[in-house]
Structure 1
């Protein structure tokens, strides 16, 4: 696929995760002040990091420099798991860290991952988009497909917004994972979040899922399916977060067709395996 075509599809799907999902949700009131939420999450992260350090583990990892992190990131233009990796991303694809706030502070780490952001204060961050192949073609729809079926088939491509974040100490990366894990457990009934104080998003359910195949060698893996309500339709967002030493890889993913129909979609394990393999080579 040509780079221009990849980029057009990437921007369109990015809108679903970081924009269209937001615009489709409405409501008011009951949300904590963004500064209060940020302060609570920061305090929790510091406490978690202190607790981890107090146990005498993970204090000595050396953070990857921006150049080092770039060297182990998925390569621009590579074909992985049938989709294409692109490094041609912008801030509109990935909200800045700290701009995502959930009404329940404990849910903010998961909300941030869902929105495409990273957590904490990493030393360096590298971002990619993985744009999957179109899963359904018009030829798969039978002899006389409806206009809606044809339109839905055209949207049936998964995109993952991949971020690698390297932290100054392994304990900080562990604290990030601890916050996400707690959010998955305590926010199963859903949560509401905003980005930069606007664009209210309603996640109605969080379900922890098994780690993707082939990720057993990672230091930590968290996987969940989030159900998001948009314009009266409930559809899934997939989230996988992995830790390798002091580096955390974030893999939120969406499929516009699934958001339209509510059907499940697959985030290929081979995508996460490919990134883990390159991280492991960094030692």
Structure 2
């Protein structure tokens, strides 16, 4: 194992761990440093996107679902255009794009199952194959899957294609365990909470590389956050039935409330050291 002074920036921050040499600066990377707060906000965006999609399609626009999906696609497109036009990581722009990927990714996964009748086990396998294909294409073109090298338009394109695939895969996987396998939302959340700890422990103790550890955990945040949010908002599958609209609003408020802390954390990480 490399001594702390030789650990790369990818190895030291990919799971929110830092080396003994101090903070790592990502330079012109268009994505945030990965810390514990990053993971918390990521999980919140996945849950908010899940319940907001359900609220829009099932309650608010039940008779106009195609129009709602089209509107979500337009907002997502605008969010990604804004993200690509930024010359650096801008916290509000980046996380709004992530939130819209969550909403639209949920809609697509649900349409595949509800409208097209594709079983969750099939859609999970299909989205897993799509994600694997994106990874292969990305690596073949760039020779790395590190998020700390997102400094060009092409790499940023691969990054957001990967994010879209992870959200669709995670949505299907979460619904597979909760509904098809009849675990219910809360046991599914517990299952994915245990699962997400595996790559972190394997990274720390078993020599798993930082990049596969990060992307494994990233995929698992989707069904984890969605299962917890569904358990809180839905009356089905053992849920509390608090309402998808209320839970969407509560989680959105939590995200907005945490962003200033993440911004301050990012500022400290990128500030030059004086000693």
| TM superposition score category, shorter chain reference | under 0.3
Q: Which has the higher contact order (CA 8 A, sep 6+)?
A: 2
Point out the structure with the larger helix share. Answer: 2
